[in-house]
Chain A
Amino acid sequence: EVQLVQSGAEVKKPGESLRISCKASGYSFITYWIGWVRQMPGKGLECMGIVYPGDSTTRYSPSFQGQVTISADTSINTAYLQWTSLKASDTAMYYCASLGVEVTDAFDFWGQGTMITVSS
Chain B
Amino acid sequence: QSALTQPPSASGSPGQSVTISCTGTSSDVGYYKYVSWYQQHPGKAPKLLIYDVSKRPSGVPDRFSGSTSGNTASLTVSGLQAEDEADYYCSSYAGSYSYVFGTGTKVTVL
Query: Contact residues of A with B, CB < 8 Å?
Result: 33, 35, 37, 44-47, 50, 59, 61-63, 95, 97, 102-108, 110-113
Contacts and interface: CB of A to CB of B under 8 A. Distances in A.
B33 to A, nearest CB: 9
A4 B63 CA distance: 27
Interface residues of B, number: 28
Interface in B8-55: 32, 34, 36, 38, 40, 45-48, 51-52, 55
Contact of B48 (A33, A62, A107): A107
A35 B45 CA distance: 14
B102 A44 contact: yes
B89 A47 contact: no
B57 A108 contact: yes
B98 interface: yes
A103 B93 CA distance: 14
> Closest 5 CB pairs between A and B?
A106-B51, A106-B36, A59-B97, A105-B34, A44-B104
26 contacts: A37-B101, A44-B3, A44-B89, A44-B102, A45-B38, A45-B89, A45-B91, A45-B101, A45-B104, A47-B98, A47-B100, A47-B101, A59-B96, A95-B45, A102-B58, A103-B52, A105-B32, A105-B93, A106-B48, A106-B51, A106-B52, A106-B91, A107-B38, A107-B46, A110-B45, A112-B45
